[in-house]
Amino acid sequence: MTEPSPDSLVTLRETGGPNPLYCVHPVSGSPYCYSGLAHGLGTDTPVHGFEAPGFDGVSEPAASIRELAERHTATLRDARPHGPYLLLGWSLGGVVAYEMARLLSAAGEEVPLLVIIDAALPRLQPLPPEDSLARYFLYDFLGVTEGRAPDVDKAVSGLGPGARPADLFAAVERERAVPEEFDAEFLLERYALFRTHVRALRHHPLGPVHEGPAILVRAAVTEDRLLEWGPYLPRLTEHTVPGDHHSMWQGPGLDAMSGIVTRALREVS
């Protein structure tokens, strides 16, 4: 039996009605990316977020999406033994939330809302080269898409193909391409968790179907082929908001997303 981890459940918005919204961390392992959404909801709903095992730098990371789903589900049911359960996840978090919804439904619990935000369907594939993955981590860490971090690109431009992640992180620290409080050692620690999550996602066979109602929120520039959730979610409603995978969490994208989630919460309440 999977043991709950009460410390991994953090409160993003404390006050509200009886049915909280539970948000699953993306690949970074941190749920605090949902803070803006939590405070932008035009409804009286408490919001909590799951922090990934290993994000504290002490506990062991989960090696698979299934393990993440089982651990977060155990934590959820420890805090709230019975539904209804309202779930939301962005990116990797959307895949984990989907699997959590399947686990809860299989246990006879009600999941009247599953919100998947710009989460690409997992596809079985190997990891990219280590230097490419480390660069992608830096973009994700800074909250930008590839090509929108010129200081990072400049800092690592002198490193040849196959450079070690430690060398990339030392270069961006030396050139001050990341905020000064994040040194190379810190980046290497965060990268280890990021890499574990990317590997888990790329080795995950998606469960066959979730019969409950679901909402897919996609960024305007995300390719449609990456978000073909229809076969897995027969009761799916889709929305598109301005921005890319990261910028959708700011300005017009966040405003539109907050409105979509607010309306969905009101409907299920």
pLDDT of residue 116: 98
pLDDT of residue 265: 96
pLDDT of residue 86: 98
Question: What is the rounded distance in angstroms from the CA atom of residue 191 to the CA atom of residue 45?
Answer: 33
Question: 3-state SS of the chain?
Answer: CCCCCHHHEEEEECCCCCCCEEEECCCCCCCHHHHHHHHHCCCCCCEEEECCCCCCCCCCCCCCHHHHHHHHHHHHHHHCCCCCCEEEEECHHHHHHHHHHHHHHHCCCCCCEEEEECCCCCCCCCCCCHHHHHHHHHHHHHCCCCCCCHHHHHHHCCCCCCCCHHHHHHHHHHCCCCCCCCCHHHHHHHHHHHHHHHHHHHCCCCCCCCCCCEEEEEECCCCHHHHCCHHHCCCEEEEEECCCCCHHHCHHHHHHHHHHHHHHHHHHC
CB 252 within 8 A of CB 230: no
User: pTM here?
Assistant: 0.96
pLDDT of residue 140: 96
Tell which residue, 50, 43, 55, has the closest CA to residue 77.
50
How far, CA to CA in Å, does 216 sit from each of 100, 120, 154, 213?
Answer: 16, 11, 36, 10
Blockwise average pLDDT, block size 10, the chain, 269 residues: 88 92 98 97 91 93 97 97 97 98 98 98 93 96 89 91 94 94 96 98 94 98 96 98 97 98 94
pLDDT of residue 148: 84
Q: Kindly report the backbone phi and psi dihedral angles of residue 48, in degrees, each rounded to the nearest multiple of 5, phi listed first.
A: -125, 155
pLDDT of residue 44: 84
CB 35 within 8 A of CB 12: yes
Tell which residue, 92, 74, 75, has the closest CA to residue 30.
92
pLDDT of residue 187: 97
